[in-house]
Amino acid sequence: MKKMMIAIFVVALLATSGLAMAQGWGRGAGMGYGPYGPGYGPYAGGPGLNLSADQAKQMQTLRETFFSETAPLREEIMKRHLELRTLWSQANPDGEKILAKQKEINGLRAQLQEKATKHRLDMRQILTPEQQAQLQSFPGGSGKFGPGMRGACGPGRGMGMGMGYGPGPRW
């Protein structure tokens, strides 16, 4: 009887873990549900902006385009991080190679930051002048992203899609 219960428990455990793994990566910290709702702080239609359905649709389209266009760049950054980690894990790390790899990562990050800035400017163009003025009253002002890690403004260095160091939660 005990063996049967253990076998049932193991099968149930494997089945539920398989379902959890099939869900894929989450958005992670810094992007997702925050004080303004899902997405990017005020641009997600936070309280007081009163986005029209057309504005919300335009912003969603811009967001999806941004994520799809920057996916290769984010993947490249992750790849270079793994290469850097490998360099650091060697018995006698080569300082020149590590510095060169770090410069590559910094260059890719600068490219991603530039694209993110252009994206934010494009998002801002969708807003009416009144909505842009209201945007200044949100925490962080100037239409920056919502609170990130430790309450700082910006996307935060959390895990997930962005500049984080790993996968986000799977829910």
- What distance lies between CA 82 and its chain's CA centroid? 18
What's residue 48's pLDDT?
A: 64
Q: Domains of the chain (ranges plus CATH)? A: 54-125 (1.20.120.1490)
Which of 63 and 8 is assigned the larger pLDDT?
63
pLDDT digits (tens, 9 = 90+) for 37-72: 344 444 444 556 788 899 989 999 999 999 999 999
Which of 145 and 135 is assigned the larger pLDDT?
135
What's residue 134's pLDDT?
A: 84
Best CA proximity match to 119, nearest among 141, 145, 93: 145
Side-chain half-sphere exposure of 19, counting CA atoms within 13 A: 6
Best CA proximity match to 56, nearest among 127, 119, 120: 127
Reported as a pLDDT band with limits 50, 70 and 90, residue 84 is very high
Reported as a pLDDT band with limits 50, 70 and 90, residue 141 is low
Three-state DSSP string of the chain = CHHHHHHHHHHHHHHHHHHHHHCCCCCECCCCCECCECCCHHHHCCCCCCCCHHHHHHHHHHHHHHHHHHHHHHHHHHHHHHHHHHHHHCCCCCHHHHHHHHHHHHHHHHHHHHHHHHHHHHHHHHCCHHHHHHHCCCCCCCCCCCECHHHCECCCCCCECCCCCCCCCCC
pLDDT digits (tens, 9 = 90+) for 95-114: 999 999 999 999 999 999 99
Query: How many angstroms separate the CA atoms of 153 and 130, rounded?
Result: 23
Which of 170 and 49 is assigned the larger pLDDT?
49
| pTM for the full predicted model | 0.57
